[in-house]
Amino acid sequence: MIDFQTNPDQYRHWRLEIDGPIANLTMDVDEKGGIFEGYELKMNSYDLGVDIELYDAVQRLRFEHPCVKTVVMRSGKDRIFCAGANIRMLGKASHCHKVNFCKFTNETRNAIEDASASSGQKYLCAVSGAAAGGGYELALAADHIMLIDDRSSSVALPETPLLAVLPGTGGLTRVTDKRKVRRDRADVFCSIEEGIKGRRAVEWRLVDEIAPKSKWQERVDARAQELAKSSTRPDQANGVKLNKLTREVAGDAISYPNVRIEIDRALGRADITVQGPTAEPPTSAEQANKLGVAFWPLALARELDDAILHLRTNESEIGLLVFHTEGDPATVMAHDRLLENEKDHWFINETRHYLKRVFKRIDVTSRSLIALIEPGSCYAGTLAELAFAADRSIMLDGTFEGDNRSPATVSLSPLNFAAYPMSNDLTRLATRFLGEPHSVKAAKERMGETLDAGSADELGLVTFVYDDLDWDDEVRIMMEERASFSPDALTGMEANLRFAGPETMETKIFGRLTAWQNWIFQRPNAVGKDGALSRYGSGVQPTFDKRRV
């Protein structure tokens, strides 16, 4: 089982050092530290294990070090920044692992960009040596890229000519959409193995500045301080230690304090039950800050994040995720009021954006998502996002015979209309009602109300409403039908339907790029016995099927 939990004391590939408002995040990959056997992580290349540590560091910088204003990413090795994803690992990995690996690295790069955009924690990438493929893609996530001008250091995206694949971590998209490199220059850049150095890299906007070796450290330090001055991070604040999650695994059940997973392997289904808060929220942001990881919205975000990553990576044959919620909707709404009223406090801001990123991770997870809204559930405010993220939401009208729990309801808070945008920069409700803006307005007018099945159906907030006589049969038929479809076709269908509306850099990465890379990773030109990934390093040129498809 691949575990996504780690901490700086366990890092094998990164060093995190804090110096006042500046943090140094140094990549120094242990060649013998691969997550699987059969390859060495030479030349600061990386695999999923390296990126799990990076994701952990990014999270800790946001929560544990609120006064850090600039993060400097650099290499701990001579003459190499990062050679990108390890080619031997890619050649040996299953198709499923390759795709999930690329998806997770994309989400981690997006988290770096979100730290800057949403929290004011700026990233500076100091490239000394070659930054190739995923190494340059890591640099592309930063706000500012510096390249040492020593006649050998360069940036490159050589995947197409070298490996017959694409830069899988958003490189193509960030070059054109983020750095606004001219299309013809981007075509040249992505078609050569040797990369681009020095002044040309600046002229083509591949990096922001160069500095000679004699003044390198001085220039990096000065730029880091300059970026820190533009940061909105607080000068004084108490960080929150991200302690290890409490997680129990018993057979096909996984339990956290606020999230439970029950896997039915015969049906290819995992039921995910989210527990609402059992106590009223703290009275202020400062009190929430003191609660730290015990603050329910943060605890929920961490547990749900780990649960989704586990299912996505370790349970590839579980194709259906069914969401349930339990608890008191009023208590969820009370927490939402705190998250809304205190959103300018650094800790509340970070918690909101963490929830946002977790919901985005659910959006791009290639599983069918169903939400069941039943008696005793609490699809209210923040937790209602689970129903809106689902491909279908099914609600019971009334109660089951002999069930003394309260009837199923849905409640909306201000957070549903602004706090948790999808990758298309629209809220899930705005995406749901893309052709019906009046429906968003109608839902907003009912904000704060406890909506029964009839009202939720009238407002278009659920897919179907059934009474207790039809519930079992209708839900069973729907689940069985879903399980009978091709998983490949479902993945393509769901990914296309979930992101209606405007295209953004994120939707291009997770939709257009991921779909192409998914396909290319199965083509013999890349992974066949005579393909580029298979023959890499052998001295034998790959043999390509020249037909364009």
Can you give the residue ranges of every domain in the chain? 8-229, 248-498
Given this model, what pLDDT does residue 516 score? 86
Type of residue at 104: F
Instruction: Show the CA angle centred on residue 124, arms to residues 88 and 421, nearest 5°.
Output: 85
* End-to-end C-alpha distance for the chain, whole angstroms: 37
Token pair 């850090």 in the structure block, residue = 68
CA distances from 216 to 146, 227, 403 (A): 9, 17, 70
Q: What's the CATH number for 248-498?
A: 3.90.226.10
CB 30 within 8 A of CB 43: no
Sign, CA torsion 502/460/361/60: positive
Local structure of 97: helix, strand or coil: helix
Local structure of 450: helix, strand or coil: coil
Given this model, what pLDDT does residue 288 score? 98
Q: Would you state the structure tokens that stand for residue 259, as one six-digit string?
A: 């999230």
Which architecture, in CATH terms, is 8-229? Alpha-Beta Complex (3.90)
Q: What are phi and psi of 39, to 5 degrees?
A: -155, 160
Cβ contacts of 427-435, under 8 Å, gap ≥ 24:
428/359, 428/385, 428/388, 428/389, 429/388, 430/501, 431/498, 431/499, 431/500, 431/501, 432/388, 432/460, 433/460, 434/500, 434/501
What are the counts of helices (DSSP H) followed by strands (DSSP E) for the chain? 23, 20
Report, in angstroms and rounded to the nearest whole number, the Rg of the chain calculated over CA atoms.
24
Do 8-229 and 248-498 agree at the fold level? yes
Instruction: Spell out the residues 6+ positions from residue 518 whose beta carbon is closer than 8 angstroms to its own.
Output: 99
* CA dist., res. 426 & res. 405, Å (int): 35
Q: Would you state the structure tokens that stand for residue 14, as one six-digit string?
A: 């990164």
Given this model, what pLDDT does residue 147 score? 98
- Whether the predicted model's global pTM rises above the 0.75 cut: yes
Along the 549 residues of the chain, how does pLDDT read in single tens digits? Answer: 999 999 999 999 999 999 999 999 999 999 999 999 999 999 999 999 999 999 999 999 999 999 999 999 999 999 999 999 999 998 889 999 999 999 999 999 999 999 999 999 999 999 999 999 999 999 999 999 999 999 999 999 999 999 999 998 899 999 999 999 999 999 999 999 999 999 999 999 999 999 999 999 999 999 999 999 999 999 999 999 999 999 999 999 999 999 999 999 999 999 999 999 999 999 999 999 999 999 999 999 999 999 999 999 999 999 999 999 999 999 999 999 999 999 999 999 999 999 999 999 999 999 999 999 999 999 999 999 999 999 999 999 999 988 999 999 999 999 999 999 999 999 999 999 999 999 999 999 999 999 999 999 999 999 999 999 999 999 999 999 999 999 999 999 999 999 999 999 999 999 888 888 888 989 999 999 999 988 988 999 999 999 988
Given this model, what pLDDT does residue 518 score? 85
H-run or E-run covering 274: strand 269-275
DSSP-H helix ranges across 247-345: 285-291, 296-314, 329-341
H-run or E-run covering 532: helix 532-535
Given this model, what pLDDT does residue 310 score? 97
* CA dist., res. 241 & res. 262, Å (int): 29
Given this model, what pLDDT does residue 91 score? 87
* CA dist., res. 549 & res. 546, Å (int): 9
Burial of residue 167, with CB atoms counted within 10 A of its CB: 0-12 exposed, 13-18 middle, 19 or more buried:
buried
